[in-house]
């Protein structure tokens, strides 16, 4: 793999992509394509990825052979990322899984150290769980494998309905395309959000972050779920934040009752509908403050607040500095 051009000496991050039998091609191709593009987008970080397995060749989910695989290393660098991909055959569907899965789990248990990072895609979480690597941690996997993951790892906190989960040095994704979501999240953390956004545009995919940490873009807050109707309601709010959005109107948008909307929205986003609308409006106000000389009354009107006082009151819930100070530090006077 070639290094990015230029004189900058990049920090090398070793990534070991574990390829199990009957590998789901999207589980490996999506995340690694993100890393490949990250190497092309910037020069500060070089993701040095290796494909390792119990065999030099594995047959993929679509029958295409994945060849040239390296043997499982006897040791890894302290700062390694171990990416365990998913498979179309459940690696734990019986008390005694087939030998290759046992071998992979045993290798993970031996090789993993606290300084390393574990990343699982789809049912790759089941292999890592057999190694005990999710004990005491929150994690997720494909919806069809969640119950099995709970059975294998009773000491883990298995979460439903999540695109991906981050808990310390353990990262896990729900399955297939969500491996790309998770890797975009990791690239944003390790390089920059701008790099991740550029990669997402190149790959023509959405970029989402988890809800348990600060968002690099509040426009993406509360989007780490897979409920299509709630996404549709969020899209409507983002398309016109200044509009007066009644609960009844939003409920009609989702073809549900107001009560059901309120329950589902908080369950899937971690926010009430009002909190979400106010967050998006404050974010729009920040954009206007940064890019225009408008006074607070005009900004309040354009962002759906009843007055500048109302805007300042809601603003204070999401920001530690007042709007006037925020404008000064972001360049508008």
The tokens describing 229, both together, are: 């109707």
Contact 28, 17 (CB under 8 A): yes
Q: Is the pLDDT of residue 18 over 50?
A: yes
Cα four-point dihedral sign 130, 133, 134, 140? negative
Question: CA 115, CA 13: separation in Å to the nearest integer?
Answer: 13
Residues 6+ apart with CB under 8 A from 114: 169
Q: Is the pLDDT of residue 25 over 80?
A: yes
The tokens describing 89, both together, are: 């055959």
Q: Using DSSP bridges, classify how beta strands 164-167 and 170-173 pair: parallel, antiparallel or unpaired.
A: antiparallel
pLDDT at residue 54, as a whole number:
96
pLDDT at residue 332, as a whole number:
45
pLDDT at residue 208, as a whole number:
57
Q: Taking the model in full, what pTM does it have?
A: 0.67
Q: Tell me the three state secondary structure of residue 261.
A: helix
Q: Is the pLDDT of residue 199 over 80?
A: yes
Question: CA 108, CA 180: separation in Å to the nearest integer?
Answer: 22
Question: CA 183, CA 191: separation in Å to the nearest integer?
Answer: 12
Query: What are residue 169's phi and psi, to 5 degrees?
Result: -95, 10
* DSSP state letters, 63-129: S-EE--PEEPPS---TT-EEEE--BSS-TTSSSS--HHHHHHHHHHHHH--TTSEEEE-TTHHHHHH
The mean of the pLDDT values for the chain is 88
Which of these ranges, 17-31, 49-63, 150-164, 220-234, has the smallest mean pLDDT?
220-234
Say which residue, 223 or 108, is predicted with more confidence: 108
Q: Which secondary-structure segment (H or E) carries 170?
A: strand 170-173
Q: Is the pLDDT of residue 213 over 60?
A: no
Among residues 189, 162, 175, the alpha carbon closest in space to that of 81 is found at 189
* DSSP state letters, 283-319: HHHHHHHHH----HHHHHHHTT-SSHHHHHHHHHHH-
pLDDT at residue 93, as a whole number:
53
Q: Is the pLDDT of residue 3 over 60?
A: no
């Amino acid at each position: 793999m070639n290094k990015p051009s230029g004189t900058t000496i990049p920090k090398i991050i070793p990534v070991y992509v574990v390829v199990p039998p009957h590998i789901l091609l999207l589980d490996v191709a999506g995340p690694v394509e993100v890393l490949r593009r990250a190497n092309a987008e910037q020069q500060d970080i070089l993701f040095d990825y290796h494909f390792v397995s119990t065999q030099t060749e594995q047959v993929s989910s679509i029958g295409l052979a994945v060849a040239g695989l390296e043997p499982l290393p006897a040791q890894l660098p302290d700062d390694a990322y171990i990416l365990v991909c998913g498979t179309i055959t459940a690696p734990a569907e019986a008390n005694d899984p087939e030998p290759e899965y046992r071998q992979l789990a045993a290798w993970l248990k031996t090789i993993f150290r606290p300084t390393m990072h574990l990343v699982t895609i789809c049912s790759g979480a089941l292999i890592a769980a057999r190694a005990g690597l999710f004990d005491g941690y929150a994690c997720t996997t494909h919806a069809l494998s969640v119950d099995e993951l709970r059975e294998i790892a009773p000491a883990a906190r298995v979460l439903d309905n999540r695109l991906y989960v981050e808990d310390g040095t353990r990262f896990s994704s729900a399955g297939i395309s969500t491996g790309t979501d998770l890797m975009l999240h990791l690239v944003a953390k390790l390089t920059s959000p701008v790099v991740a956004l550029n990669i997402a545009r190149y790959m023509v995919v959405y970029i989402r972050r988890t809800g348990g940490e600060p968002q690099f873009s509040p426009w993406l807050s509360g989007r780490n779920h897979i409920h299509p109707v709630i996404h549709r309601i969020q899209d409507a709010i983002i398309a016109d934040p200044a509009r007066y959005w009644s609960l009844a109107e939003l409920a009609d948008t989702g073809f549900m009752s107001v009560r059901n909307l309120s329950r589902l929205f908080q369950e899937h986003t971690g926010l009430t509908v009002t909190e979400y609308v106010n967050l998006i409006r404050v974010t729009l106000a920040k954009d206007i403050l940064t890019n225009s000389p408008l006074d607070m009354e005009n900004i309040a009107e354009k962002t759906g607040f009843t007055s500048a006082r109302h805007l300042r009151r809601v603003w204070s819930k999401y920001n530690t500095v007042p709007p006037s100070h925020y404008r000064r530090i972001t360049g508008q006077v």
